[in-house]
Homo-oligomer: A and B are copies of this chain.
Amino acid sequence: MTKIPYKIYLEEKEMPKQWYNVRADMKNKPAPILNPATLKPVTKEDLKPVFCDELIDQELDDTTPYIDIPEEIHTFYKMYRPSPLVRAYYLEKALDTPAKIYYKFEGNNTSGSHKLNSAIAQAYYAKKQGLKGVTPETGAGQWGTALSMACSFFGLDCKVYMVKVSYEQKPFRREVMRTYGADVTPSPSNTTQVGRQILEEFPGTTGSLGCAISEAVEAAVTNEGYRYVLGSVLSQVLLHQSVIGLETKTALDKYGIVPDIIIGCAGGGSNLGGLISPFMGEKLRGERDYRFIAVEPASCPSLTRGKYAYDYCDTGKVCPLQKMYTLGSGFMPSANHAGGLRYHGMSSILSQLYADGLMEAVSVEQTAVFEAAQKFARVEGILPAPESSHAIRAAIDEALKCKETGEEKTIVFGLTGTGYFDMTAYQKFNDHEMTDYIPSDSDIEKSLSKLPKID
């Protein structure tokens, strides 16, 4: 038998030429997204002021299984892809487990995460449409960084609305964006109407992601030649992220490896959706069975404790509504939550798959996540992002179950990124100052009581 190398790198010619659209193989399609003004299914025309034309097609297309990756995007992918599929020999040894663990590592690029896979696609279509630029929002800065890199590559303008508290307290990602030529504005700002309103109502506010989204959308629709770009949740983003799963599958197939369990962290769902897509396709077509596990923070448990219902995608209620597992668009995870994945809802694709029993979900607490992160860093060398460490936690837990049962299961998980810009959270953990927080049932009920009445 061929010895499995520590890192399986595909050759350039083995890289995927098409994205895979898992919706094409879903019997129960995700429910249509709704126009926030009319609460009717959105039309292409509704979305045109906000999103690029070709991305709207991708967003609405739930029948075409494969969509060509344009040559320009494929070429950019070659700069940092294929990403390695790593056999976690050292982690297995440290856990003394018979399980075989693999992880797909998406952190080897300057944006530090998988977000670049969709950023370059969204920037490409904006350029192709002859637009001037795009207006993303960003919290800690991963999405903004990815967009800045992508826009710099295509010579597009990139106006980033960055949550003010991050802008001030996390200046490093801000400087990465500026190095790539982006214009970074702390949000709320006086450059938009919604920003000015919020500043008037709450002087001294440090901002929120919801507010930054509202400003970015306003900037897109009011500035000629700009469109809004979002880094997760949307079906178009899952489509672009399928490159992760396709590469993973090719690498596994090359060595005849068949995974039993595939695990990913889930905030908005872009990484998990991308990783599992081609495997889920096999499951949907009845070709092969896998277990899929979505891992979410106990402090923001949309799949495990949310409701499957139509909800707004943003706190400002300016974006379309989608049917998804949600905690309510006003839900805010506790301030002590350090590990990302703060989104109140979940990709509509993953929500439908979960509702249909095709995928499992678990929630994990943050100190357990950072314990897993530290263990992983020490044995596998890579310092993981807190987000990614949710998947590490679940993978370790599954591997330890194998140790008990003696089963030699093959576990694959997504390591979405590195934690170099998250050292404040690590410091909290190192100083034993990290605590856990689980929202009470009444907190969640209260937030869910405000869901829009649709159905």
Contact = CB atoms under 8 A, between A and B. Distances in A.
B171 A79 contact: no
A256 interface: no
A423 B12 contact: no
A378 B181 contact: yes
A193 interface: no
Contacts of A80: 381
Interface stretch (A172-180, A234-242, A335-343): A172-180
A379 B6 CA distance: 30
Most buried by B among A78, A110, A426, A427: A110
A108 interface: yes
B180 A378 contact: yes
B420 A175 contact: no
A223 interface: no
B421 A380 contact: no
A424 B172 CA distance: 7
Given A78-B6, A176-B423, A109 B381 contact: yes
23 contacts: A6-B78, A7-B78, A9-B9, A80-B381, A108-B108, A110-B418, A149-B381, A153-B379, A153-B381, A171-B423, A172-B172, A172-B420, A172-B423, A175-B424, A175-B427, A175-B430, A176-B426, A178-B427, A179-B377, A179-B378, A179-B383, A179-B430, A180-B378
A380 B426 CA distance: 30
A420 B423 contact: no
Contacts of A172: 172, 420, 423
A-side interface size class: 35 or more
The secondary structure that dominates the A interface is helix
Nearest to A374: B179
Contacts of A110: 377, 381-383, 418
Nearest to A9: B9
Given A12-B5, A108-B108, A423-B175, A79 B430 contact: no
Contacts of A175: 423-424, 426-427, 430
Nearest to A90: B79
A383 B176 contact: yes
The 10 A-B pairs with the shortest beta carbon distances in the complex, nearest first, are A172-B423, A175-B423, A6-B78, A110-B383, A152-B378, A175-B427, A420-B420, A178-B430, A79-B381, A5-B12
Interface in A404-444: 418, 420-421, 423-424, 426-427, 430
A421 B180 CA distance: 16
A152 B374 CA distance: 11
Contacts of A178: 426-427, 430
Contacts of A9: 9
Interface in A156-186: 171-172, 175-176, 178-181
A383 B112 CA distance: 11
A11 interface: yes
A6 B377 contact: no
Contacts of A109: 381-382
A255 to B, nearest CB: 13
A260 B344 CA distance: 56
A365 B190 CA distance: 39
A9 B14 CA distance: 14
Nearest to A373: B179
